[in-house]
Amino acid sequence: MNKCLKIMISGDIPKHFLRDVLQKNAKKLNLEGIVQATQEGVFRIIVCGDKDAVDSFLDLLHKAGIIDLEIEPFLKDKDYRGVFRIIE
């Protein structure tokens, strides 16, 4: 079963964390979506894929020590073409 989430994270998030941790793990988990900075220190993550893989991705955020998370269900409105992108 597929699942999509919209996750807002904030805080002092280094850019290498987005690339080296989030994007690489999303690829390993076969997830698609985007990470986009909405304002200074606030990032919007849209992640879609298999329910268990999305849950594992969410666990990764918790294990990384990111405590300021807002998570809500998301209806996929775009085709991410099977890729997880970082939009700068």
What is the pTM assigned to this prediction?
A: 0.89
What per-residue confidence (pLDDT) applies to 31? 96
- pLDDT computed for residue 56 by the predictor: 96
| pLDDT one-digit tens code per residue, 12-60 | 888 788 889 999 999 999 999 999 988 888 999 999 999 999 999 999 9
Q: How many domains does the chain have?
A: 1
Q: CB neighbours (10 Å) of residue 59?
A: 10
CA angle 69, 36, 67 (to 5 degrees): 15
Instruction: Evaluate if residue 88 carries a pLDDT over 90.
Output: no
**Stronger pLDDT, 3 or 1, i.e. the higher one:** 3
Q: Where residue 11 falls among pLDDT bands split at 50, 70, 90?
A: confident
- Say how far apart CA 28 and CA 16 lie, in whole Å: 17
Q: Is the pLDDT of residue 66 over 90?
A: no
- From the list 88, 87, 85, the residue with the least C-alpha distance to 23 is 85
Strand order across the beta sheet in which 2-10 lies: 69-73, 2-10, 42-50, 32-39, 84-87
Expressed as residue numbers, the domain containing 31 is 2-87
CA–CA distance, 70 with 6 (Å, rounded to integer): 8
Query: What CATH number is associated with residue 74?
Result: 3.30.70.100
Q: Rg of the chain over CA atoms, in angstroms? A: 12
